[in-house]
Amino acid sequence: MASAEVRAIRRRIKSVQSTMKITRAMELIATARIGKAQVRVAQAKPYTQKMNEVIRNIAHATGSLKHPLLERREPKTVGVLVVTSDRGLAGGYNSSVIRLADAAINRHQRDGLRVRVYTVGAKAQAYFRYRKYSIEHAWLGVTDTPRYVNARTIANILLDEYATERVDAVEAYTTEYVSALTQTATEWNVLPIEPPAADDDGTAVVASGYTFEPSPEEILGRLLPRYLEGTIFGMLLEASASEHAARRRAMKAATENAEELTRILTREANQARQAEITTEISEIVGGAEALSGG
C-alpha cells in the first residue's frame, strides 16, 4: 500500500497528463488551421493586387487622385480598431496587439484627441470594457475564419463614422503574419485611405490611353469602398493566420512542459516509494534486532 505522499504525486502525474492530451490536441488543430488560413491569405492576394493596379491606373489617367476618402482632415477624434481573437490560449498574441493599441490610445488622449474604440474579437472587447472605455462597435465570431462579409460590415460602419465626421481618422491595430514563426503587432492607417504606392507589388504595368466607363472619378468613388473592404479582409485573414500560428506555438510549449513535468514527477514518485521501502526495512531490521537482543 503506497503512502499518502506517493499517491498525491501519482494523482498530479495523471492530471498533468490529461492536460497534456488537451494541449496536444489543440496544437494539432491549430497546425491544420494555419495551413488553411495561409491558403486563404494567398487566395485573397490576386484581388488586392488587381485592385491596386486599377487605382494606380486611375491615378495615372487623372493626374492625381481626388476623393473625400483620400483627404486628410485635422483630427479631433481618432477611431481605433483593435483586432484580437475570441479565444485565449494563444500565447502573447492578444496581449501584444492590445498593448500596442492601449499605448496609442493613451498617446492620443495626452495630445487632447478624443478616441472611439472598435473591437474585433472577445479579448479586445473584454479588455476595453473592463477599463471602462465605451466601445462603439464590437464584432465577435469573426477571427476564427473571417468571411468577406465580415470585412464588408466593418468597412461600412467605419465609412459611415468617417463620412458623418464622428471620426476624422481610423487606425487599426492588428497582427501581421510574417511567417509561421514570426507574427508582429502592427499599426495601420485605415482612413483616410492611403492609395497604394506605385509598383509596390511589382505587378502593375501602368498604362495610358484607357477608356473609362463611367468617368475615372466615378469609378474611383465606387472603387475606394471596395478597396477598403479588400484591405480589411486581408487584415482579418492575416490576423487569423497569426492567431492559429501563435496558438500552435503556445500549445507546443505547453505540451513540452507537461512532458518535462511528468518526467520530474515520476522521478519524485519513485524516490518517495524507495524512501518508504527503506524506512520499512530499517523498521523491520530494527524490530528484529530489538527482539533478538532482548
CB 242 within 8 A of CB 83: no
In this complex, which beta carbon is closest to another protein, that of residue 79 or of residue 216?
216
Min dist. Cβ of residue 31 to another protein (A): 23
Q: Is 36 in the site for another protein (CB under 8 A)?
A: no
Residue 117 CB, shortest distance to another protein, in Å, is: 24
For cell 495561409, name the residue: 38
By CB under 8 A, tell whether 264 contacts another protein. no
Is 46 a residue that touches another protein (CB under 8 A)?
yes
Range in contact with another protein (rule: CB under 8 A) among 1-9, 81-89, 214-222, 270-278 = 214-222
Beta carbon of residue 59, minimum distance to another protein (angstroms, whole number): 12
**What part of residues 91-120 is at the interface with another protein (CB under 8 A)?**
none
Q: Using the rule CB under 8 A, is 216 a contact of another protein?
A: yes
> Residue 167: CB partners within 8 Å, gap ≥ 6?
77, 78, 79, 116, 158, 161, 191
Given a contact cutoff of 8 angstroms between Cβ atoms, the answer to whether 87 and 58 are in contact is no
Please identify which residue in 63, 112, 209, 294 interacts with another protein, judged by CB under 8 A: 209
Q: Distance between CA atoms of 286 and 173, rounded to whole angstroms?
A: 72
* Sole window of 52-60, 116-124, 160-168, 184-192 interacting with another protein (rule: CB under 8 A): 52-60
Q: From CA 16, how far away is CA 258, in angstroms rounded?
A: 6
User: Per rule CB under 8 A, is residue 152 in the interface with another protein?
Assistant: yes
Continuous segment of H or E residues that includes residue 176: strand 169-177
Whether the bond into 192 is cis, omega within 30 of 0: yes
Q: Which helix (H) or strand (E) holds 171?
A: strand 169-177
Q: Can you name the residues that pair with 116 across neighbouring β-strands?
A: 79
**Which residues are near another protein by CB under 8 A?**
40, 43-44, 46-48, 50-51, 53-54, 57-58, 147-149, 151-153, 205, 207, 209-214, 216, 218-219, 222-223, 226, 229-230, 233
